[in-house]
Amino acid sequence: MRAAFIIMQIGDPELDTVCEDFIVPVLQSCGLDPKRVDKHNEGRLLKSEIVEFIESSDIIVADLTNERPNCYLEVGYTMGLDKFRNLILTAREDHNPDSPNYQKGGHKIHFDLSGYDILFWDPKNLNGFREDLEKRVKRRLAIIEPYTTAPHSYWDEEWISEHRVLAFSGLKKLNKSGFMEIRAALPDFRLNVAQGELLHKAKAAQINTFGWPIGVVIDKAGLRPIPRTDGIVAEVAVNEGDSHSGYDYWALRKDGAFYLLKSLFEDKRKPGHLFFNTRIVRITETLLYCIRLYSGLGVPLDSRILVGIRHGGLKGRVLSTSSIARRVPPPTSSISTEDEVYSEVGTTLEKIESDLVNVVQEFTQPLFVVFDFSELDKKVLENIVNSYVAGKVI
């Protein structure tokens, strides 16, 4: 039987009733075996039992009523295990600053968790809470199993497909076949940002180094981003005659979903090639752009983010370099027999910031290997990433 763990204050009569008469029956009706540490400990070290319950449970219901430090600590440990999909947060409705029953100076949800999707319960309508909790548990159970085999379960494929069709149509008009496609989403954090603020933050998130930056914002008629009901969209297409020729299409939705299609810089400099140093720089820029964009929108650094990067038009290209200071990884005649490579990473903004080189490598390794098993020395990768962060593109 699948396991569930309940985190809440122990010894409070009201919470004991909510747990025993509503939370436990819901979990049982969903085919789960609910555990609470004060009811199911086996006499071992309490901290180790809590850790074991959290690590082994498919669903974790954490009630934050009364701001108990141990509850917040256990929620933090759950998030540290990357079990956001398994975690359901609840609290009494007077802890919600938007509730008419909220009292200034009283108990509330701590700031670090205030942006998460919390299910508030009204002591006068616990049957309604039970119904809402059951729906939420069932949705999470439906997500958890497919996620292990289908990593795209959090993507809005319909939204992405809509923009992909438009983007590839524009790319084709410029007779370009090589591309870099980016998608990003926040599976556990809710945003609802007005279009004007989206534009302001997207503009501030740009990193201007060479060529057009990721999420380029050009304040010029026919090129500037336009508002849509669900967010903003930009299409920047310049013909080959211009020294800055290329194609960029990107969309940013009000909930933080991001999509981008970008022509390859290599096709201006040396068609038929893929510059390994340029790809490292562009992927690094993508990750830093995500940090700048989402932190600018108020997303906490410990929030989970999904990033997917696809490179296409690769078949027959030669892996080379744009700089004489860089040498191509052996063999020197590395040619791709694959046309597309897609990689997806689930991480946090904080980890991207603190472990940037390794996250970049998660995207570059599967890209370079299709070029006749090419593998880049980690020190070279690290040097390119660090040089870019320092403002040097080499």
Task: Supply the pTM of this predicted model.
Answer: 0.62
Q: How confident is the model at residue 325 (pLDDT cuts 50, 70, 90)?
A: low
- Assess whether 133 and 222 both reside in one domain: no
Tell whether 369 is covered by a domain. yes
Q: Specify the DSSP class assigned to residue 224.
A: S
Q: How confident is the model at residue 40, as a pLDDT?
A: 46
- Assess whether 194 and 229 both reside in one domain: yes
- Assess whether 364 and 216 both reside in one domain: yes
| Cis ω for the linkage preceding 331 (within 30 of 0) | yes
Strands (E), the chain: 2-7, 32-35, 59-63, 87-92, 118-121, 179-185, 226-228, 231-238, 246-253, 258-263, 273-275, 304-312, 318-320, 340-348
- Assess whether 292 and 362 both reside in one domain: yes
Residue pLDDT, tens place only, 124-163: 999 999 999 999 999 888 877 654 444 445 788 999 999 9
- Assess whether 318 and 385 both reside in one domain: yes
- Assess whether 141 and 194 both reside in one domain: no
pLDDT of residue 44 exceeding 70: no
Contacts of 110 (CB under 8 A, 6+ apart): 64, 67, 72
Tell whether 328 is covered by a domain. yes
For 181, the token pair is: 């496609």
For 300, the token pair is: 């906490």
Domains contained in the chain, number: 2
Neighbours of 208 (CB within 10 A): 8
Torsion from C-alpha of 126, 129, 134, 140, nearest 10 degrees:
-150
Residue pLDDT, tens place only, 53-71: 898 899 999 999 999 999 9
Tell whether 7 is covered by a domain. yes
- Assess whether 325 and 202 both reside in one domain: yes
Tell whether 394 is covered by a domain. no
- Assess whether 145 and 163 both reside in one domain: no
Q: How confident is the model at residue 152, as a pLDDT?
A: 40
Bridge partners of residue 258, in order along the sequence: 184, 252
Contacts of 195 (CB under 8 A, 6+ apart): 227, 228, 231, 232, 254
Which residue did the predictor score with more confidence, 332 or 270?
Answer: 270
- Assess whether 164 and 302 both reside in one domain: yes
pLDDT of residue 220 exceeding 60: yes
The boundaries of the domain holding residue 9 are 2-149
Q: How confident is the model at residue 39, as a pLDDT?
A: 57
